[in-house]
Chain A
Amino acid sequence: MSDTIKTSDLDKAFKDEVLTEPGAEKLILCFNCTGCTAGCTMAEHEPNYNIRQLLRMANLGMRDELLNHPYLWNCTTCYKCQERCPQGVPNVDILLKIRTMAVHSGIMLDNHRKVAQLMAKTGHAVPINDDNKEKRKTLGMNELPETVHNYPDALEEVHKIVAKTKFDKLTETQS
């Protein structure tokens, strides 16, 4: 990251799109105080993860570097930095917006595709399994919870919604 950034390489349209997220316009008020990164729990454990830097890249319009950034997916969304920001920048909301832009550009981690497909198919990101059907019975409960698991019509509604928003296509495995 020590190379000189050339303004001719920056993508202003990308920045403008990031700023369409409600509240994201506060990003331009960021004066790089680094309070976000200093308090970041993830950064304590993964020192290369730097939320300030990611948001700075968004502010400059560094589209390709950001969408492919190896640490874009490290935020656990604990919201500590967003709460503490003296400029009121909604850091996490902005980061999540950038992530959606990566996904809509076809950049998505394999395990995220898997969990997205699992939810689109079963209605649960963590569906029931045999072990837990047994645990439920031991506790005197019905084998299946009163969720989409027990109501096929309700699951059909989930299928219709993900088809309508094209989420099923968005998250399908790339060949």
Chain B
Amino acid sequence: MSELSFFLGCIAPNRYPGIEKATKIVMEDLGVHLRELKGASCCPAPGVFRSFDKLTWLALASRNVVLSEEMGVDLLTVCNGCFGSLVDANNVLKEDLELRSDVNKVLAEVGREFKGTIRVRHIMEYLYDDVGVEKVKESIKYPVDLKVAVHYGCHLIKPSKERHLGSIENPTFFDELVEATGAESVMYKDKNACCGAGGGVRTSSLETALKLARAKLEHAKAAGVDCIVDACPFCHLQMDVGQTEIEKKFGDVFNMPIVHYSQLLGLGMGYTPQELGIDMNYVKNDDFIAKIEKIGGGK
């Protein structure tokens, strides 16, 4: 069995605990044991904290990486934002020894040192490269009969330097992993567009951020999908909580279910929507829950 540390971040454990739980379950079933990364903090969010002070951003990000270095295992995240911070910080500190020295002076305050001995992994690229689409397919007991809009988000694939995930204009690995569950990935307008949450925009200019989310929801709805599938709790929050805010600010109602890939995979493995926390979204869509309850029916 492979082992990784599980970096939780903020939004998965503190707003969508179903994503945290679903990830542990599905990875265990795939033969990947996730160990708790005890005492990890915010990644910290790349768009905001890197915009404020680069050394603080690097020091806190590298502390999280160091916790995993000390365990001697690679680190796994289920969030594009956390991936953005941790993979970029890990890469830059492996290469830039002067910057590493500055960061290690800060980490010395807490008795830690960045050594550059591990890799930072995102669940989607880990599943694609290390587990493989075929093995994911074999783990499916109940094909997930849904039409879904895949939302790659931004920091999973960009900046592409050192991510090596193929085309950033027309990526396919996430769609392949979705189709491995039996679901159909439906093409929709501006599929690769940003959800609008990142860069501190959701924090500082909610209405502006929501305009981007609204476009995403409109395009997915026009394609006739059952749900949007993402791999980032921040995109997830922006598109789920965002729907309640869009309704208040603009009057548009979408009633669109938002599902993290770990949860989608869990459905195909036979777990119930309740076990996976899919019913805990802020947007309540009973018809969708009734539909996905029929997929597996418990384990």
Contact = CB atoms under 8 A, between A and B. Distances in A.
Contacts of B211: 45-46
A35 interface: no
B187 interface: no
Contacts, number: 216
Given A100-B53, A139-B21, A165-B53, A76 B199 contact: yes
Contacts of A165: 53, 55-56, 59, 106
B14 A127 contact: yes
Nearest to B37: A146
Interface stretch (B121-129, B189-197, B222-230, B245-253): B189-197
A30 interface: no
Interface residues of B, number: 68
B52 A124 contact: no
Interface string A98-126: 01100110001101100110010001111
Contacts of B49: 116, 119, 125
B266 to A, nearest CB: 12
Contact of A79 (B10, B109, B154): B154
Contacts of A112: 48, 51-52, 200, 203-204
A127 B168 CA distance: 32
A161 to B, nearest CB: 5
Contacts of B197: 76
Contacts of A73: 51, 199-201, 204-205
A123 to B, nearest CB: 4
B159 A83 contact: yes
Kindly name the residue among B40, B46, B198 whose own CB sees the greatest number of chain A CB atoms within 10 A: B40
